[in-house]
Amino acid sequence: MNTREKKFVPVMITPFNLKAKVDLDALSRLIDFYLAAGVKGFFANCLSSEMFSISEDERLEITKHIVDYVKGKVPVVATGSFGLTIEDKAEFTKKITDTGIDAAIMITGHFANVEDDDEVLLRNFEKIFRLTDNIPLGMYECPAPYKRILSANVFRQILNSDRMVYHKDTSIKHELIKEKLEILKETGNNTFEFYDAHSPNAMYSLQMGAKGMSSISGNFYPEILVWMCENANNPDKQEEVKWLQSEITRVDPLIHQAYPMSAKYFLQKRGLPIRTISRTFALELTPDQKKTLDGIYADFHGWCDRLGITRVL
């Protein structure tokens, strides 16, 4: 394993057919597209997958399809912490692990209520550790049901459990990300993978030591994030890296509007059989929203042309 390799891991969207049922054929095409773009892993059953709007059976079906289709080419992780009680969460974690994923990801907001202090969260993490045997686990500061950002101290304590192999960070703040990455370096753990979810942080987090990026922007232009992961630390590419970072940062608030419908529209423009059907965003995209996305689509082509990036579609 190349411990220095930087990786882009997309957060998978879920394609639906005209009856709003999961479209596995379209999902397969989407996986092919990501792999051709150079991604180094997949995050299945995540917020971008509309995981709160699909059934337990669909969560398992989608995840198993991704694992089976990828056939070990790259690792696959998926959210496992669903259920009312910690025991329920452990049970679902075992079920989704049986699909063949490489790690089950725990949503931090699932282990304490918004008003609870960190001691509650830590106790519940200890409980999930006991109930899940030796299943590799990860952490995800998911925005839903509410965003529970881990402090540096809590991050250190959870790391010390030796059960975690993965972290998806949404704290946004450079100072906190730097603190967490410094704690990770202190442990000497070269196999733990730290990913930033915030595209405007890409250059900074990668240069501070993050394993890679796992952001929604990869559902629009994964080639761009792959290039950033590969070149953020290249001393010969720093001018291009800074320029591209400014472009990614400029459009980031725009692609978040009406997401994941915005991503589905963008992927459709790119030639993928992804319908603009979502269970979490019920409205049609407005003409102005489409116009904005059309402009970003043109920008994306310009980025690729300037940097010599080959577009998949």
CA distance 73 to 121: 35
DSSP bridge partners of 137: 104, 164
- Structure confidence at residue 221 (pLDDT): 98
- Structure confidence at residue 241 (pLDDT): 98
- 250-301 tens-digit pLDDT: 999 999 999 999 999 999 999 999 999 999 998 999 999 999 999 999 999 9
Write down the CATH number for the domain with range 7-234. 3.20.20.70
| Arithmetic mean of pLDDT over the chain | 97
Largest CA distance in the chain: 52
- Reported as a pLDDT band with limits 50, 70 and 90, residue 128 is very high
- Reported as a pLDDT band with limits 50, 70 and 90, residue 2 is low
- Structure confidence at residue 4 (pLDDT): 80
Q: What average pLDDT does this structure show over 208-236?
A: 98
- 170-187 tens-digit pLDDT: 999 999 999 999 999 999
Q: What average pLDDT does this structure show over 80-90?
A: 98
- 135-164 tens-digit pLDDT: 999 999 999 999 999 999 999 999 999 999
Residue 1 has pLDDT above 90, yes or no: no
Domain boundaries, the chain: 7-234
Q: Within 10 A of 61 (CB to CB), how many other CB atoms are there?
A: 15
141 with 171: CB under 8 angstroms? yes
Tokens 């370096």 correspond to 185
16 with 279: CB under 8 angstroms? yes
Residue 114 has pLDDT above 60, yes or no: yes
Looking at residue 309, the DSSP 8-state letter turns out to be P
- Structure confidence at residue 190 (pLDDT): 87
pTM score of the predicted model: 0.97
